[in-house]
Every structure is written in structure tokens, then in C-alpha cells.
Amino acid sequence: MLGPNGSGKTTTLGMLMGVVNPTSGSFSWFGESPSHHTRKKIGAVLEHPIFYPYLSGQKNLELNAMIKGADPANIPKVLETVELSARKDDKYRTYSLGMKQRLAIASALVSDPIILILDEPTNGLDPMGIAEIREIIKKIAADGKTIILASHLLDEVQKVCTHFAVLKRGNLMHMGPVDDVGKGEEIVEVQAYHDDLGILLQEFVGSATIKKENGLFQVMMKDGYHSKDLNRFLFDKGIVASHLATRKKSLEKQFLEILADTKS
């Protein structure tokens, strides 16, 4: 679930999890009308990790398990998943931000839920923390759980998600599979030891637009033309490319386009 800050991602999830009262509309979970019983089957962390600061990680998870009616025997397993076993008896308030985020994921997993909701799980983390959380998410998804991820970090979504939706001021702007992003358009990055490469590339029948970025030429291909056609063209001209790569349009670009389309 994508959207700029303040687009209503957390509010939407808050309504789905019963902490925000909707002014209108309805929703259902698992085909039933929502109640606190359905919430027990979902593991969710909205915005920041929330725990009792004076309780240890272990005790906090025991409390989560009690509320969810989950087997406390799951706790060592989920602590292992998020690599917190060594610190489980320390008070929550002594944890670093990354550990807090990981404990939040552990608490969402403790009832072995069918659905996991994570809201900005990498917010405020350093690159290593982000990579760790991303690995955990992939590991959980590989177990066959559905994960709903709210984020404004598009790179992250593109790396871990299969489907995406874009929200703006509480309205749904777009919905579709992540794989579809940039379909039908191909951008080829090319570099060669040739002074007039830019002029030469314009002669290629398959090029729509050409841009130079960081010393690389980015050729937007016309429909039906691919990197191999460009490669052959250069080879015929007697030029050997030192760099040739196909780039799909990034989710970031598509996202900005979706938001720009609806500006009016």
C-alpha cells in the first residue's frame, strides 16, 4: 500500500484493525463481518512498535499471546525468527529502534496469523536494519503468509511485494501487480568508447528518446524494439558497447506518474 505522507495508509489500516471508527463504508475479513475475533487471526503493527516499556521482550510477547489466545510455546520460535532470543529478558525500553521493530514483527507472528499487516516496518532504520527487516519479510512470505505492507519507500515495495495499491488523500488511485509496472516500455542503458555515440544513437530507428545520465545514454525504445536490436545496430556501425543493460521503469516513476495524473 503506497501513498505520500498523510495519504491515509495508517488510517485505513487502523479502521481495518478496529482502532479508528469509520465515518462511512464497510469491510469484511475472511468473508465475515469484522469483530475482535477476526482481529485475533491477523498480526498487525501500525506505525510504531507499541509495547510496555517496563516489561521485557519475553513478557511483552507473553501478554500478546494471552490477548490473542495464542500458544506461548510459539514465543521462542518467533524470537528466533527475528533474532532477538539473546535480548529477550531485557526491558523493552533498553532496545534499539531496530530491535523494537523486530520485536513488533515477532509479536505479530506469535499467533501464527494468516495475514500480517506491517506499517512502515523499516521507518528510521539504518541500511543494515532495513536489509534485515526485508529478509525477515521475505522469509515470512515464503512460509505462505499474506503480508500487507504500507510504505512510502517504493524501492522496498518493488523488492518485496507482488501487488500494490496507491492511495492519495484517502482515495484509491491505482491497483495492480508490481510486475506490470513499466510493461510495454523498455529503457536501454548503453555506453561505448565513441565520441559521437549520442548522435549515432539518434539514427537508430528503434529509439524514441535519448537522455544522458551519469555518462550513460538512456534510450527509450519504441514498441517492438529491444536491446538486442540496438546491439546489432551498433555492431553494424562497427561499435562495440562497453555497457548494455535493460531497465524497467521503476515503481517510483510509475508512482509519481499516478499521483501526477490525478493532481487535477
Partner 1 sequence: MKFWLTQNRRYLLTEHMLHLLRIDLKKMTSYRTFWVICGLYFLTLGFTTASGMEILKWLASKGAEFGASININRIPLYHFPDIWQNLIWISGLFKIVLAVMVVISITNEYQYRTIRQNIIDGLSRWEFLQSKILTNVLLSLMSVVMILSIALVTGFIYTPTIEWTYFFGGTEFFIAYFIEVFAFLSYALMLGVLVQRSGLTIVLLMLSHMIEAIIKVNVFRSGVEDQIGWLKQFFPLESITNLVPLPFARYALQEIQDYVALGAVAIALGWTVLFNYFAYLKLKKSDI
Instruction: Give the separation between CA 191 and CA 244, rounded to whole angstroms.
Output: 7
- Piece of the chain touching partner 1 by CB under 8 A; list 43-51, 75-83, 163-171, 239-247: 43-51
**Which grid coordinates belong to 27?**
469491510
Axis crossing angle, helix 97-109 with helix 57-68, rounded to the nearest 10: 30
**Which grid coordinates belong to 81?**
525468527
- Tell me if residue 29 falls in helix, strand or coil: strand
The length of the chain, given as a count of residues = 264
b (16+ CB within 10 A) / e for 47-72: eebebeeeebbbbbbbebbeebebee
4 vs 117, 166, 171, CA distance in Å?
18, 9, 12
Tell me: does residue 72 bind partner 1 (CB under 8 A). no
**Which grid coordinates belong to 253?**
516513476
Per CB under 8 A, the list member of 4, 29, 34, 40 interacting with partner 1 is 40
- Closest approach of Cβ 41 to partner 1, in Å? 8
Per CB under 8 A, the list member of 39, 87, 102, 168 interacting with partner 1 is 39
What is the pattern of x (binds partner 1, CB under 8 A) and - over residues 94-133?
-------------x--------------------------
Give the nearer residue to partner 1 in terms of CB position, either 105 or 190: 105
Tell me: does residue 51 bind partner 1 (CB under 8 A). yes
Tell me: does residue 68 bind partner 1 (CB under 8 A). yes
Per CB under 8 A, the list member of 3, 7, 10, 17 interacting with partner 1 is 17
**What is the edge-to-edge ordering of all strands in the sheet holding 241-247?**
207-213, 216-221, 187-192, 241-247
Q: What is the DSSP letter of 32?
A: B
Tell me: does residue 87 bind partner 1 (CB under 8 A). no
- N- to C-terminal Cα distance for the chain? 22
- Piece of the chain touching partner 1 by CB under 8 A; list 34-42, 176-184, 244-252, 254-262: 34-42
**Which grid coordinates belong to 39?**
482481529
Number of residues that bind partner 1 (CB under 8 A): 30
Per CB under 8 A, the list member of 4, 29, 34, 67 interacting with partner 1 is 67
Tell me: does residue 36 bind partner 1 (CB under 8 A). yes
- Closest approach of Cβ 17 to partner 1, in Å? 5
Tell me: does residue 64 bind partner 1 (CB under 8 A). yes
According to DSSP, the β-strands at 216-221 and 207-213 are: antiparallel
Phi (first) and psi of residue 29, to 5 degrees: -115, 135
- Closest approach of Cβ 191 to partner 1, in Å? 51
- Piece of the chain touching partner 1 by CB under 8 A; list 36-44, 186-194, 230-238, 239-247: 36-44
Tell me the residue type at 100.
Answer: K
Q: Which residues bind partner 1 (CB under 8 A)?
A: 14, 17-21, 35-37, 39-40, 44, 46, 48, 50-56, 59, 62-64, 66-69, 107
